[in-house]
Amino acid sequence: MAVNIKQLETFVWVADLGSFKRAAEHLETTQPNISSRIAGLESSINTILMERDAGSVRLTAQGHELLAYARKVVSSLEEFVQAANGDAAFDGIVRLGVTEMVVHTWLRDFMKAFKAQFPNALIELSVDLSIHLERDLADRNIDLAFQSGPFARKASGEKCLGVYPIIWVAAPAMGLPPNKKIAAKQLSQFPILTHARNTRPFEEVSAHFAQWPELKTRLVPSSNLSACMQMTLDAYGVAALLAPMVDRELAQGQLIEINYPWAPEPLKFAARYDLHRSSNVIRAAAKIAEQTAKEFDQGFSQKQKTVRKAS
């Protein structure tokens, strides 16, 4: 019986992705190669592992049973290579999805720490809304997501990346006093810049100002928080943004924090992945993110305390 590791790895990825085409894309090979590996594996063990139907695949009963063993073999080989050669032996690709808040805060520190541990690994980076990252994670289009809740789907692997408040900010040119308490009537005179539609912050802001329909509040949602922040800097309107994202602009006086007595709930961030299907590298990357976020959070919290004392 001549079963090789490429056949088992291919079997695992076809089963997980549900498609020969997607498995070929992930393994950076062709569909004929994928078909050949699966056919060779089935021939070697004299067992039909999956049924093909109109571009999709379904595991047979024996395929389901043997999949767990295939995972163990692939994982054990990875552990063997790492034990022999260290983390530098990994030269694969990690498909990482992150939200903009991570990009603007500690992503660079994470990338440095990850590269130090896995110098030959490559990160394929996607920046998107959390709801899209959650879908991509479930569909196995990414291996790991750094995203904010609430989460509609459970992830078997999850590391806490901190909880951050949303605050109201505006450019000094807007003429709003930084310390005096602002009422809804005064705030709603300006366009309200928010997170994208279908996000929790947008829904909370929308529901909050819906209490006063007579104010005719103008909400301006944006799927790109960088653009939203730039519009805020350009005095296009007032904005409810994550505090870490505007920390530097507040310190430099480019923005001021508005004393409005309500804000959307803080956002909880997490590194999320499939604990049972993910490689050791993915699990290690999640731990690196956890530590990096913790160090950032400690520095941010200390800075906030210093600012409060100074004021």
What is the residue-wise DSSP string for 110-163?
HHHHHHHH-TT-EEEEEE--HHHHHHHHHTTS-SEEEEES--SS--SEEEEEEE
Task: Extract the tokens encoding 303.
Answer: 């800075």
Query: For the CA atoms of the chain, what is the radius of gyration?
Result: 24
Mean pLDDT of 272-285: 89
Give every CB contact of residue 227 below 8 A, 6+ residues apart in sequence: none
- In this prediction, residue 70 carries a pLDDT of 87
Give every CB contact of residue 260 below 8 A, 6+ residues apart in sequence: 168, 181, 182, 184, 187
Mean pLDDT of 23-51: 88
- In this prediction, residue 299 carries a pLDDT of 81
Going by pLDDT thresholds of 50, 70 and 90, the confidence category of residue 145 is very high
- In this prediction, residue 305 carries a pLDDT of 59
Which is nearest to 5 in space by CA: 49, 35, 40, 29? 40
Q: Look at 66-80, 89-103, 275-289 and tell me which has the smallest mean pLDDT.
A: 66-80
Going by pLDDT thresholds of 50, 70 and 90, the confidence category of residue 307 is low
Contact 228, 193 (CB under 8 A): yes
* Structure confidence by residue, pLDDT tens digits, 225-253: 889 999 999 999 999 999 999 999 999 99
- In this prediction, residue 115 carries a pLDDT of 93
What domains, with CATH codes, occur in the chain?
A: 5-84 (1.10.10.10), 87-161+268-310 (3.40.190.10), 166-265 (3.40.190.10)
- Name the residue with tokens 């004299």: 46
Kindly tell me if the per-residue pLDDT of 80 is higher than 80.
no
Going by pLDDT thresholds of 50, 70 and 90, the confidence category of residue 88 is low
How far apart CA 8 and CA 284 sit, in angstroms, is: 23
Going by pLDDT thresholds of 50, 70 and 90, the confidence category of residue 290 is very high
DSSP classification of residue 252: T
Kindly tell me if the per-residue pLDDT of 280 is higher than 90.
no
Task: Extract the tokens encoding 127.
Answer: 């920046």
Max CA pair span of the chain: 78
Kindly tell me if the per-residue pLDDT of 144 is higher than 60.
yes
How far apart CA 123 and CA 137 sit, in angstroms, is: 15
Which is nearest to 169 in space by CA: 246, 226, 221? 246
Mean pLDDT of 151-158: 90
Kindly tell me if the per-residue pLDDT of 95 is higher than 70.
yes
* Structure confidence by residue, pLDDT tens digits, 181-221: 999 999 999 999 999 898 999 999 999 999 999 999 999 99
Q: Look at 62-71, 85-94, 168-177, 250-259 and tell me which has the smallest mean pLDDT.
A: 85-94
Average per-residue pLDDT for the chain? 88
- In this prediction, residue 89 carries a pLDDT of 61
> CB-side exposure of 43: number of CA atoms within 13 Å?
9
Kindly tell me if the per-residue pLDDT of 90 is higher than 80.
no
Cα separation of the two ends of the chain = 75
Instruction: Provide the residue count of the chain.
Output: 311
Which is nearest to 164 in space by CA: 58, 270, 238? 270
Mean pLDDT of 80-89: 66
How far apart CA 194 and CA 91 sit, in angstroms, is: 40
CA 253 to mean position of chain CA atoms: 30
How far apart CA 288 and CA 290 sit, in angstroms, is: 5
Going by pLDDT thresholds of 50, 70 and 90, the confidence category of residue 120 is confident
Contact 9, 77 (CB under 8 A): no
Contact 98, 269 (CB under 8 A): no
Let me know the angle formed at the C-alpha of 91 by 86 and 92, rounded to the nearest 5 degrees.
125
- In this prediction, residue 171 carries a pLDDT of 96
pLDDT over 70 percentage in the chain: 93
- Name the residue with tokens 């956002």: 267
- In this prediction, residue 85 carries a pLDDT of 65
Mean pLDDT of 121-131: 92
- In this prediction, residue 249 carries a pLDDT of 94
